[in-house]
Amino acid sequence: MFPVLPLLLLLRLPSSLQRCVFDEVQARVGVVRSAPSEARDPLTSEQGSPHPGGSLRKRSMLGEKAQPPQPIRVQTWLSRQSDSLSAAERGRLDAAVQEAVRTVSSLLSVIRVRGSLRLSRDVNKYCKFLWKNSSTVNYNRCGRANNNYRAETCLDVIIPDDHLDGCDIYPQPDSPHRTVLRPEGAGLPNTDFLLYVLVQATDKCRAQPEVLAYAVHCRTDPRGRPLAGVVVVCRETLRGAGYRHPTTVQTVMHELLHALGFSKDLFSSWRRCSSSYQDGAGCPPGGPVAHPDASGQTRLYTPAVVSALQAHLQSADPGLGAPLENQGAPPGGASSHWEARVLQGSIMTAALGDWATVRLDRVTLAALQDTGWYTVDLSRAQTLLWGHGEGSTFGSVLTCNSSPFFCTGSGLGCHFLHLHKGACQTDRYLEGCRMFKPLTNRSECFRKENSRLADDDLRGEVFGPDSRCFFSSLIGSPQSGGPGGSVEGLCYRHRCTGPNRFQIQASGSGWVHCPAGGSIQVDGYQGAVFCPDRRLCLHSDVLPLSDDINSFSSSNTSIRSELSSNTGTWSPLRPPAVASALCVSAAVALLAALVVSNRLCGSCRVRGHTVAPQHRSDL
């Protein structure tokens, strides 16, 4: 399992919602889809070219084996249109983008592009008119150039000519004479998807502070698979003492998955492929995949998605498509996010909260599998505890309050993962249903430093990596067996003794067995602790990453920015060097344990070399 990945805004409090505006932004982008005559055959390095009749000249593939899917190669390019970044901000950006790309590349495989990837130009931009007489030699070729043509763009980002196909002008309908308007660029080798990164304090970022980043796709291949897109990272995301690397990774990953195909505008291009397909060319179009159910909720009905949701909710209902968020969508229309009431905590809901509560879940990976463009390692999905086993009606506005995953009133309790204290709240996406959301202050039970902020120790709370939230009325008293205090979410240590079996420990107490679904009393305290059922000690990946939430990397190393020495308009986001500063400070701090310190720092020193600039995607 890979680590839990989060979403962020600078100094945003844990209970705040960070909103995605992908559909709004994608709607104003013109997507250029390569025509078959322009496309590079995915199994060859030869560029097809049209002859006067408009058909495609292809090399014979007789006897050549089909290429199996391989991990997708995502190349990232930072636009020099970006705001000026400090070395620390550039380091944060590089590290977050590279980690998000590595994770996605480890999950998705494609039929790779051979040779260099070049993007198509928009004929409607560079051409004033096309020859439309089908009997002419130059049928469907450009006859006159648009004198106002300057550049190709993806969202507001200028695409370098070196990344683009060339374009020619044929002044006469039946003459082979042509004028080269723009020469063919070199393209990008070892690339299956090109992600342009722009860091700016855009008008949208300033007007909507809950928007952290946004993305689009702008170029696709002839079968609809996205080849290029842009992610705009709001400048404030990278600033300040409240910066969190895990949340930035989550931001980039969420937007990257949109750009790669989790988009309502691409649903009609998804392919219907068998699990054994080798060449995406053999997969027929999937047809309509999203339509409203009897209640008007638009759902995504594709084979892997339906199967994944049936398994999650433990329902055999054949009509159980995955519901799409209806807030912001037209009546009966689709959106590019999961319905929050049903798939709360999924990486592809429209609004995400604290980083430790977000999951790259199986339903999301199943949707990417059902695009037909990718093979996906579904075994790598993270556990989505929300709604597990609740049946096909789970998340309905009419019945949500009958489920233990939801709450009523406005009291205090525990978030359903029991990592945070919570308050019973609703939001625009829950549509009146309520759930326990992390509190705005010291909500994380797993952060040891929160113990310093506790008002007193009468409730017996203990904060630390192995602490979880429990509904409790414990209150310290020389007597025992009394009514205790109010019932609310409180933090105690826990340790697993078996599946759905655990013990707890309050401040100053011994370990006490806590029967799932029952309650216990603790010596030295009045009141009781209530033991959750099927929430703890069942899934090894429902864990906080670290007591130090500033550290997201599994190696717990700091990342040093490798600033590009390029002087042109573009620079690649290159693999960063790993700084040895953390190891040095650790050695000083642990001087008395020098041998242990040296062992910990050895791997840092080995990897602490400078990486030469390369135009490649193995970030």
pLDDT per residue as tens digits for the range 179-196 = 999 999 999 999 999 999
Q: Using the predicted structure, report yes or no on whether residue 73 has a pLDDT greater than 80.
A: yes
Query: What DSSP string runs through 116-132?
Result: EE-BPP-HHHHEEEE--
Longest Cα–Cα distance of the chain, Å, equals: 102
- In 3D space, the residue among 332, 333, 359, 334 whose CA is nearest the CA of residue 344 turns out to be 359
Mean pLDDT is lowest, of 66-70, 411-415, 506-510, 614-618, for 614-618
Tens digits of per-residue pLDDT, 311-329? Answer: 999 999 988 999 999 988 8
Task: Tell me whether residue 236 is one of the annotated catalytic residues.
Answer: no
Q: What span, in angstroms and rounded, lies between the C-alpha atoms of 280 and 266? A: 16
Q: Which long-range contacts (CB under 8 A, 24 or more apart) does 60-69 make?
A: 66/278, 66/279, 67/42, 67/43, 67/111, 67/112, 67/114, 67/278, 67/279, 68/278, 69/109, 69/110, 69/111, 69/278, 69/374, 69/375
- Does the pLDDT of residue 252 top 90, yes or no? yes
Q: What is the pLDDT of residues 329-355, one digit of tens each?
A: 888 788 999 999 999 999 999 998 888
Q: Which residue among the candidates 38, 89, 99, 255 is catalytic per the annotation?
A: 255
Phi-psi region of 484 (alpha: psi -120 to 50; beta: other; left: phi over 0): left
Residue-level pLDDT at 281? 55
Mean pLDDT of the region 116-123: 97
User: Is the pLDDT score of 9 beyond 90?
Assistant: no
Report the pLDDT averaged over residues 275-293: 71
* CATH of span 261-395: 3.90.132.10
Contacts of 556 (CB under 8 A, 6+ apart): 546, 582
pLDDT, averaged across the chain:
82
Handedness of CA 468, 473, 477, 482 (dihedral sign): negative
pTM of the model: 0.83
Q: What is the pLDDT of residues 136-184, one digit of tens each?
A: 999 999 999 999 999 999 999 999 999 999 999 999 999 999 999 999 9
Give yes or no for residue 535 having a pLDDT over 70: yes
Which helix or strand (DSSP H or E) is residue 205 part of? helix 203-207
430-456 residue pLDDT tens: 999 999 999 988 899 999 999 876 555
Position 46 pLDDT exceeds 50: no
CA distance 427 to 407: 13
Calpha distance 201→237 (Å, rounded): 10
Could you tell me where in the chain the CATH 3.90.132.10 domains are found?
261-395
